[in-house]
Amino acid sequence: MGGVHMHNFLMVLEVLSSIVIIVSVMMQPSKSDGLSGLVGGGGGASESHFAKNKTKTLESVMAKVTTVAGICFGLTTVMLNLVK
């Protein structure tokens, strides 16, 4: 019976981590400027304050949350296959 509880726990963790991945990816801003970024070079965005100091911006937090949730999702997927 312990394997059933572990499987259910891992399934809940899998679903929660997938929801966190979806939400965190959807909250991240787009990286591309479209065709204007190709022609104009991006308008000097690389020299802005936020481009230099990304450690505390919402964008960097969402990227870290996405990374952690992705690792959690991968580990729970492997563990679900082992617990069968």
- For 66-75, write each residue's pLDDT tens digit: 999 999 999 9
The mean of the pLDDT values for the chain is 81
d(CA 20, CA 39): 35
pLDDT at 40: 57
Residue 72 lies in a domain: yes
Residue 6 lies in a domain: yes
Residue 70 lies in a domain: yes
Q: Is the pLDDT of residue 84 over 90?
A: no
Q: Is the pLDDT of residue 38 over 60?
A: no
* 46-64 average pLDDT score: 72
Residue 26 lies in a domain: no
Report whether 10 contacts 74 (CB < 8 A).
Answer: no
* 28-37 average pLDDT score: 68
Among candidates 4, 12, 15, 17, which has minimal Cα distance to 84? 4
Query: How many domains does one find in the chain?
Result: 1
Report whether 59 contacts 28 (CB < 8 A).
Answer: yes
Residue 50 lies in a domain: no
Q: Is the pLDDT of residue 17 over 70?
A: yes
Helix, strand, coil distribution of the chain in percent, nearest 5:
75, 0, 25
Report whether 64 contacts 25 (CB < 8 A).
Answer: no
